[in-house]
Structure 1
Amino acid sequence: MANPALSNNPAFRNNAPVSAATLEELYERPSATPAETNRMTYEDTAVKTVVLFAVLLATGAVGWFVPGLAIVGALVGFVLAMVNTFKRQPSVPLIVGYAAFEGLFIGGITAIFEANFPGVAIQAVLATLVTVGVTLALFASGKVRASARATKIFLIAMVGYLVFRLVEAGIMLFGGTSSPFGLSSTRLIGGIPLGVIVGVLAVLLAAYSLVLDFDQIQQGVRRGLPAKYGWTGAFGLMVTIVWLYVEFLRIFALLNRR
């Protein structure tokens, strides 16, 4: 007996024989592309990344004119970053929300830095674009790849960097220094502010983080993950690029301060 769920559907009721010409035409049809099967692709992930940065730039303009919103953007953006990071399934509204609030933060702090150190904004933007472009080019050419050993070193260095930033923030919070850049701006090593040295190391960490992001996107495409995971890849890239930009902003501000 026929399955009623199928036999009642007109698409399954045609019992006419299939001709040889029809079979040949079906056989010669090209295979379905990843996009047609709703699979993750590089192009789709790139489009999603552009969408997120368009949102970030739009709210960044608001933050530029209302710098006080940077605090709100930083707090809500951090919460959304944590939620998206540990969420098993990507949520488009939460990821877009992160981009929106992160834009308020980036626009606000950029306006503050630019008001005190004219020219640092364009320097930070150009340095970020060059770093992302060079890293992507090296990764695409196969000259730079993520490895287990390098990733282990990266994780150790990241822990050390985060501990350093937390300690510095605690010192600033309890009045240990009046400098907005923390103690690292007042300590010199070979005539260079410690903050600049730490910033350069952070840029190297962010660059390797970009390599990890590119590698994960590549693995996702190769494994044929659903297209929705392109949002996860775009979110990861945004987090890293924002971090990279903030580090460059700090470095150029410290250099201009001298």
Structure 2
Amino acid sequence: MESRNPVFNRSEGFSRGGNATFRDVPTPTPGSLEEMYRRPSAGPVQTGRMTIDDAVMKTLACFGVLLVGAAFAWFVAPGLAFVGMIVGLVLGLVISFKQSTNPALILSYAAAEGLFVGGISAVFNDQWPGIVSQAVIGTLAAFGAMLALYKTKVLRATPKFMKVLTIAGLAYFGVALASLVGALFGVGDGWGFYGIGGLGVLLCVAGVALAAFFLVLDFDFVEQGVRNGLPERYSWLAAFGLMATVVWLYVELLRLLAILRGND
């Protein structure tokens, strides 16, 4: 393999197909040895490792694509929300199970999620004007709060925390799936379990809390990835995880606000 060490990557002996040779190599002087010693060691960028900046920039790129898709669905074709939901679900499962770091695949997921978010937001906002801005503010506030709690070490992704959160997440998604089936048969006036009085509010609050806590796992993935020296391409997977969790959080908040304003 071609070396990424800046000391070696310009040397024929360490390049692809190069041959090491010691002919015509001048004897290093004390001054040149001291200069080599003083040179800074290769950082994450030079060695192709993942950095916090990589994760931030990839996440911003994903949300940029998501916002474009959301704007298109909001202003042009809200009906594409269903298409976006199905395509996003399929792509999300593929990325998750394959742990794919393919930028095209992850940006396609972002576009699909944009269509889904923009479409349902338009529908909800027509029914309850102003609800989308409330959900966006709530999502940003929750994200900021969880990041602050994580950075101050109030919340940490300990093995016990991860185990409890994973079990709770699986249980919640099981209930959500059963609710979806019930909604198809008219349970809760088409809202499934979420439309059954106080039960629906409790389920939504649980969903918001779970999505917020899952952000801690995403923050930990980024931090551990940087610490462990993961290749730079894994910043795309980190961006995917953050985006998926934020969209989940937003949808849960949107549904909770809709239920609370249901009698308006």
Shared fold, TM over 0.5: yes
- Tell whether 2:142 aligns with 1:131: yes
Query: Which structure 2 residue ranges, 5 or more long, are not aligned?
Result: 1-12
Rounded Cα–Cα distance in structure 2 between residues aligned with 1:246 and 1:64? 15
Structure 2 counterpart of 1:233, from 238, 243, 258: 238
Question: Is the contact made by 2:194 and 2:204 (CA closer than 8 Å) also made in structure 1?
Answer: no
SS of equivalent to 2:160:
helix
In the other structure, the counterpart of 1:27 is 37
Residue 196 of structure 1, CA deviation: 1.8
Where in structure 2 are the equivalents of 1:5-20 lying within 5 Å? 5-7=17-19, 14-20=24-30
Bigger relative contact order (CA 8 A; separation at least 6): 1
Structure-2 separation of matches of 1:209 and 1:184:
21
2:139 corresponds to 1:115: no
> Where do 1:108-257 residues align within 5 Å?
108-177=119-188, 179-187=189-197, 193-257=198-262
What is the alpha-carbon distance in structure 2 between the residues aligned to residue 56 and residue 14 of structure 1? 57
Stretch deviating more after TM superposition (84-93 or 59-68): 84-93
Q: Which of 43, 50, 53 is matched with 2:60 structurally? A: 50
Secondary structure of the residue that 2:46 maps to in structure 1? coil
Gaps of 5+ in 1: 188-192
Q: Is the 8 A contact 2:81 2:119 kept in 1?
A: yes
Aligned equivalents of 1:195 and 1:12: distance in 2? 75
Q: Counterpart of 1:226 in structure 2: which amino acid? A: P
Whole-Å separation in 2 of the counterparts to 1:14 and 1:256: 81
What is the DSSP-based 3-state SS (H/G/I as helix, E as strand, rest coil) of the residue aligned with 1:6? Answer: coil
Change (3 A) 1:104 1:14: farther
Query: Which 10-residue stretch deviates more, 196-205 or 74-83?
Result: 196-205
Distance 1:173 1:142, change over 3 A: same
Deviation at 1:181, TM superposition (A): 2.2
CA RMSD of superposed structures (Å): 1.8
Query: In structure 2, how many angstroms separate the alpha carbons of the residues matched to 1:102 and 1:235?
Result: 11
TM norm structure 2: 0.88
Give percent identity, aligned residues only: 46
Q: Residues of 2 paired with 1:142 and 1:216: CA distance?
A: 15
